[in-house]
Amino acid sequence: MIHGQDVTLSLGGARILDDVSFGIESGTFTAVCGPNGAGKTTLLRTVNGALSPDAGRVVVDGEDVATLSAKAIARRVATVPQDTSVAFDFPVRDVVAMGRTAHRGRFERATADDRDAVDRALERAQVTELADRPVGTVSGGERQRVMLARALAQETPALVLDEPTASLDVNHQIRTLSLVRSLVEEGKTALAAIHDLDLAARFCDELLVVADGRVLAAGPPTDVLTEDVVERAFGTRVAVRTNPVTGTPTVTTLGSGTHTQDLTERSVAPSAHRPDGGHEE
Amino acid sequence: MHRWRRLGAWCGGLAAALVVACLASVAYGAVDLSPVVVAKAALNAVAVPAGLSLAVSSVGVPALGQVPWLAPDVQYVHPFAFAVPQSAQTIVVQLRAPRVALAAVVGFALASAGTVMQGFFRNPLADPSIIGVSTGAAVGAVSAIVFPGVVAALPLLGLVPFVGSLQVFAFVSALATAFLVYLVATDGGRTPVATLLLAGVAVQALLGAVVSYLLIQAGESVDQALYWLMGHLSNASWNDVVVTLPLALVGFLVLAAYARDLNVLLMGEEDAHALGIEVERTKRVLLAVSTLVTAAAVSVAGVIGFVGLIVPHVMRLLVGPDHRNLLPTSALAGSVFLVATDAVARSGPTELPVGIVTAALGAPFFLYLLWSQEVRAL
């Protein structure tokens, strides 16, 4: 569905992606993980055509993204941005209806199809009851779902999400990712940058670990989330165990400083959670 | 549909207000006329093309001599013939109506361009001249006033019928300035709006210095130059209207066709691209058309401030941020505002440049909106 071939890209003289290749199968949920500045967002931006690689290419649905018009891309890949703030106070429904841009000609009025797609998207993202509210008055978690609804209104096979959980509380994190998960079950292909390794492991089929502009590992979470890979990616010592509740890998950051021993002891205590949340932000 | 009904109601109301403002403004003056007489005189002047005949004529072409061609000859029918005193008919049609019509056209143009620029820059302080159109026009117009000999010698001016060389000079230099700003701010096919804004400010500062220098050199023509700079509608002629109106209308229609794209652009350029907008191409169209519309208005009426800044803000409070509603209502409201302020401008013992009145009325109103927290963002 989405393939990157030897993608190299520099921004402002700094090489952000260095010969990156990846493949994302149709109907899967893939998380891009890695430390800050690893190139996660940049990688997503090559998939939705916001950036063109200096070398290599990104192919979506059999077409090289660089050769497609904005409209053609927007019919293949819908994007949920990280920054969901909207400067102008459009009603939620109007924001979601903007997802239909690529399906309408300049002089065409909204068709019944367009209106149905918007209604379905509002429903699916659980924001129907917010439809007439100005988007500036809804909470951060709700706005995230509004942006997801906008992306759903695009009716694309692929969905790109940039840090969909970054600014959300635990409840909304799970709610958002469950929603994406169920969309994938229904046939969509999703690619998301996700900071939280535990959440990525729990909800995604595949992980793509990037560090320093390169792909460090790719595959199912249980194969990829090894102490070795995570330590190399994040430059910190970690312990990887299986979460007794979800049955998926859980990563505990131990840190690399002088208190490591200390932390190791605490991390094995039964009630302990990540002591410092070190691998987030 | 709901939106169309609401938009229709707003536009109908504003159009009615425009008609009332125009009638009142034409009625008012040294010789007071009743609005009924004004309406009758205006209707008397209405000419409907009724027939078209082609007459064989000949035209002189260098190197070929006289070449025959078909000259179109349009016959008009005047459907109305109310009894109106000849003096009143002349005052209305020849003296006052062109000025009021030009006020309506200029207000329409400035408010349309201002609405688009505020959306384009996602900045509440943006106005039609943000990228230097007005300052560019000022350099052209003041040069034409200060050095009439140089301007008259330029061959370019003979090509444009109807309007004076001053207007042509202002128009061309307005477009050249905007294009220069665009070139400076564009790199590798991309024009970041922040760079465009800064380039506009820098070029405006530079050209402001040029205008100041020209004023020092102006000698006796300094009064005329200052009067132009303050924005004015006196000396308006039907020719000004005939040249400005099509530019304003066609420009408006193009901008209106891009209203939905402008809405999507408000989401941010990267979002807009992800939603299917060709961002850079859309920005070029919006910039070029608003520049053209602004230049047309400024070159006939001088620098009339605040119309393009305040009218869109007020309309945004009333109809919301959706440019499909905001653009037409702002354009009409701009007409009403400028017709009304121009009536105020010529109501005193000495006639004021209308730019003074728009600023004197507009700025306090804007401050009031800020104070009452109505204008927070766009």
- A89/B274 Cβ within 8 A: no
Q: Which of B262-266, B365-369, B374-378 has the lowest mean pLDDT?
A: B374-378
In this predicted structure, what is the pLDDT of residue B378? 46
User: CA torsion angle for B215, B221, B226, B231 (degrees, to 10)?
Assistant: -130
Q: How far is B273 from chain A (nearest CA, A)?
A: 6
Cβ neighbours of B116 in A, within 8 Å: none
- Distance CA(B368)–CA(B330), nearest Å, equals 19
ipTM of the complex: 0.86
CB B280 within 8 A of CB B270: no
- The yes-or-no verdict on residue B333 having pLDDT over 80 is yes
In the structure, what pLDDT confidence band is assigned to residue B144 with cuts at 50, 70 and 90? confident
- The ranges of chain A with pLDDT < 70 are 87, 256-281
Two structure tokens written together for A19: 């010969």
Cβ neighbours of A106 in B, within 8 Å: 257-258, 260-261
Interface of B with A (CB under 8 A): 122, 257-258, 260-261, 263-264, 266-268, 270-271, 273-279, 320-322, 377-378
Mean pLDDT throughout B129-153? 85
Interface of A with B (CB under 8 A): 45, 48-50, 69-71, 73-75, 77-79, 81, 83, 86-90, 94-95, 98-99, 101-102, 106-107, 150, 154
Q: What average pLDDT does the structure give for chain B?
A: 86
Any idea what DSSP says for residue B94? I
CB-CB neighbours of B298 under 10 Å: 30
Instruction: Give pLDDT tens digits for B299-326.
Output: 999 889 889 988 998 898 889 889 999 9
Cβ neighbours of B321 in A, within 8 Å: 88-90
Residue of B nearest to A103 (CA): B276
Distance spanning both ends of chain B, measured CA to CA: 26
Among B139, B197, B196, residue whose Cα is nearest residue B169: B139
Residue of B nearest to A51 (CA): B270
CB B275 within 8 A of CB A99: yes
- Distance CA(B187)–CA(B287), nearest Å, equals 16
In this predicted structure, what is the pLDDT of residue A204? 94
CB A124 within 8 A of CB A152: yes
Helix (H, G, I), strand (E, B) or coil at A44: helix
Q: How far is B246 from chain A (nearest CA, A)?
A: 21
Higher pLDDT, A224 or B374: A224
Q: How far is B340 from chain A (nearest CA, A)?
A: 30
Percent of chain B with pLDDT over 90: 44
A238-242 and A249-253 as β-strands: parallel, antiparallel, unpaired? antiparallel
In the structure, what pLDDT confidence band is assigned to residue B349 with cuts at 50, 70 and 90? confident
In this predicted structure, what is the pLDDT of residue A194? 92
Nearby residues of B28 by Cβ (< 8 Å), 6 or more positions away: B343, B347
Nearby residues of B79 by Cβ (< 8 Å), 6 or more positions away: B46, B48
Cβ neighbours of A98 in B, within 8 Å: 263-264, 267, 275
Q: How far is B338 from chain A (nearest CA, A)?
A: 27
In this predicted structure, what is the pLDDT of residue B287? 93
Instruction: Name the residue facing B378 among A50, A77, A88 (closest C-beta).
Output: A88
Instruction: Name the residue facing B274 among A79, A95, A106 (closest C-beta).
Output: A79
What single letter denotes the amino acid at residue A59?
V
- B257/A73 Cβ within 8 A: no
Can you say how many angstroms the Cα of residue B50 is from the centroid of all Cα atoms in its chain? 31
Residue with tokens 């330029």: B154
- A102/B263 Cβ within 8 A: no
Two structure tokens written together for B295: 């230049």
- A75/B263 Cβ within 8 A: no
Burial (0-12, 13-18, 19+ Cβ within 10 Å), B119: buried
Instruction: Give pLDDT tens digits for B227-280.
Output: 888 888 888 888 889 889 999 999 999 999 999 999 999 988 999 999 999 999
Instruction: Give pLDDT tens digits for B189-220.
Output: 888 988 999 999 999 999 999 999 999 988 88
In this predicted structure, what is the pLDDT of residue A268? 46
Instruction: Give pLDDT tens digits for B42-64.
Output: 888 888 877 777 767 666 655 66
> Which helix (H) or strand (E) is A51 found in, with range?
none
Q: How far is B174 from chain A (nearest CA, A)?
A: 30
A206-211 and A29-33 as β-strands: parallel, antiparallel, unpaired? parallel
Mean pLDDT throughout B185-191? 87
- B320/A101 Cβ within 8 A: no
Among B359, B96, B30, residue whose Cα is nearest residue B241: B96
Residue of A nearest to B276 (CA): A71
Residue of A nearest to B123 (CA): A87
Interface test with A, best of B267, B282, B378 (most A CBs within 10 A): B267
Alpha helices per DSSP H over chain B:
2-27, 35-44, 86-90, 97-121, 133-146, 148-153, 165-185, 193-216, 222-229, 238-257, 259-265, 269-274, 279-301, 307-319, 323-345, 354-371
In this predicted structure, what is the pLDDT of residue B209? 95
Two structure tokens written together for B317: 């409070």
Q: How far is B258 from chain A (nearest CA, A)?
A: 8
- A71/B278 Cβ within 8 A: yes
Instruction: Name the residue facing A98 among B273, B275, B278 (closest C-beta).
Output: B275
In this predicted structure, what is the pLDDT of residue A272? 42
- B322/A90 Cβ within 8 A: yes
CB B285 within 8 A of CB B298: no
- B273/A70 Cβ within 8 A: yes
Helix (H, G, I), strand (E, B) or coil at A29: strand
Residue of A nearest to B119 (CA): A88
Instruction: Name the residue facing B277 among A75, A78, A101 (closest C-beta).
Output: A101
Q: How far is B366 from chain A (nearest CA, A)?
A: 19
- Distance CA(B176)–CA(A259), nearest Å, equals 66
The number of C-beta contacts closer than 8 angstroms across A and B is 72
Two structure tokens written together for B241: 């209207």
Cβ neighbours of A77 in B, within 8 Å: 274
- A77/B270 Cβ within 8 A: no
In this predicted structure, what is the pLDDT of residue A280? 40
CB A151 within 8 A of CB A79: yes
For A137, half-sphere exposure in the C-beta direction (CA atoms, 13 angstrom radius) is 9
